[in-house]
Amino acid sequence: MVCLGNICRSPLAEGIMQHLADEQGLDWEIDSAGTGDWHIGQGPDRRSVRTARQHGIDISKQVCRLFSVSDFDTFDHILVMDKSNLSNVLAMARNDEDVKKVELLLIDKIVPDPYFDDAQFEPVFKLIENGCREFIARYK
């Protein structure tokens, strides 16, 4: 799960996908990262932590890290939140195999950045949850 800062959207996406995968008994390894380095080593944004908690998901222990080329080797799917994340990640792809792993979580639309608008965290949670449910239906 990849976004820009790895403190708002992708930590939610990691927590939600892990929660849903656990519920379905899927032994999936899920992680998140950002393409920007401002928040490395920090926990998720408190608004994301609170929104997740309201839905029974604890993301407070996550630690922000930078997306790295080695993620293409570690993971089968790289799910990005918006088109800027998409181009940043694709710019790091080494070959067609890497490129094929990358897709927008919501396929035909983006998960907007809620960083500057507190009211967007709940709608963003729902968008991500729907995307995760659809992903699980496709790949489980």
The residues assigned a catalytic role are: 3, 9, 113
What distance in Å separates the CA atoms of residue 6 and residue 15, rounded to the nearest whole number?
12
Q: Is 127 in the site for ligand 4NP (CB under 6 A)?
A: no
Backbone phi and psi for residue 83, each to the nearest 5 degrees, phi listed first:
-70, -25
We find the least distance from the C-beta atom of residue 117 to ligand 4NP, in angstroms, to be 11
Backbone phi and psi for residue 33, each to the nearest 5 degrees, phi listed first:
-155, 165
Which residue of the chain is nearest ligand 4NP when measured via CB? Answer: 5
Site for ligand 4NP in 50-109 (CB under 6 A): none
Number of alpha carbons in the 13 Å side-chain half-sphere of residue 116: 1
Q: Of 4-12, 18-26, 49-57, 71-79, which segment contacts ligand 4NP by CB under 6 A?
A: 4-12
- Burial, 67: exposed, middle or buried (Cβ in 10 Å; 0-12, 13-18, 19+)? buried
We find the least distance from the C-beta atom of residue 84 to ligand 4NP, in angstroms, to be 9
Q: Is 15 in the site for ligand 4NP (CB under 6 A)?
A: no
User: What are 128's two structure tokens?
Assistant: 């991500």
- Interface residue with ligand 4NP, options 43, 88, 115, 122 (CB under 6 A): 115
Distance of CA 112 to the CA centre of its chain: 12
In the complex, which residues of this chain contact ligand 4NP (CB under 6 A)?
3-9, 38, 113, 115
